[in-house]
Amino acid sequence: MQLSPSLTALIEALRCLPGIGPKSAQRIAFHLLERDRDGGTQLGGCLTKAMQVIGHCESCRTFSESAQCDICQSVKRQDSRLLCIVESPTDVLAIEQTGQYQGLYFVLMGHLSPIDGIGPKEIGLDLLEQKLSQGNIDEVILATNPTVEGEATAHFIGELCHKYQVEASRIAHGMPVGGELDLVDGMTLMHAFSGRRSLGS
């Protein structure tokens, strides 16, 4: 027995979702057809539209439907003269959700990875260099991931900041708040020790 062509195509297409195998794809397709056709139609339209209209902010490279994102357009953010460098738009979201940072961002959309052919240009460092040369930024906060590639990328951008005499800082690594010492990996523990601060003053 063959499933109808549109159903077969839908099950196949659902496989593009991360973590969805053939069995789950089938289950989702039948669920939508049996119980939530309105939801399925809605999702179809939203997907088509999002993939079409969402591009990248020409200033910080994060996802945006307009030429510049809301954050880049904010005068208050521009006046902060702070630029936080992250690997992905989800990092921007995570930082914004803390409500503590009020500066600008620059989103690399990845990290340096020479063996994958991802060099400075691929992560927008030409655009970043242009930004640094304009003299509107006092401090660059390097918030790439604490991985080998993230550290290498932070180091490379640190050199770039040095060239334009812009101060660069790296976010602190250490024990997650509420974490237990014996459950944390060795690298984190090492960072927690080397980054220790005096309790005095």
Coil, helix or strand at residue 71: helix
Site residue total, a copy of itself (CB under 8 A): 56
The CB-of-18 to a copy of itself minimum distance in angstroms stands at 5
Span near a copy of itself by CB under 8 A; candidates 6-14, 114-122, 135-143, 158-166: 6-14
Q: Which is nearer to a copy of itself, 69 or 154 (CB)?
A: 69
With beta carbons less than 8 A apart as the criterion, state whether 81 and 138 touch: yes
What are the φ/ψ torsions at residue 68 (nearest 5 degrees)? -120, 140
Q: Are strands 63-64 and 55-56 parallel, antiparallel or unpaired?
A: antiparallel
Residue 116 carries which DSSP code? G
Helix-helix angle 22-35:37-53, to 10 degrees: 120
Give me the least distance between CB of 189 and Zn ion, in Å please.
36
Could you say which of 21, 22, 49, 119 contacts a copy of itself (CB under 8 A)? 49
Residues that bind a copy of itself (CB under 8 A): 1-7, 9-10, 12-14, 16-18, 26-34, 36-37, 39-54, 63-66, 69-71, 88-90, 92-93, 96, 109
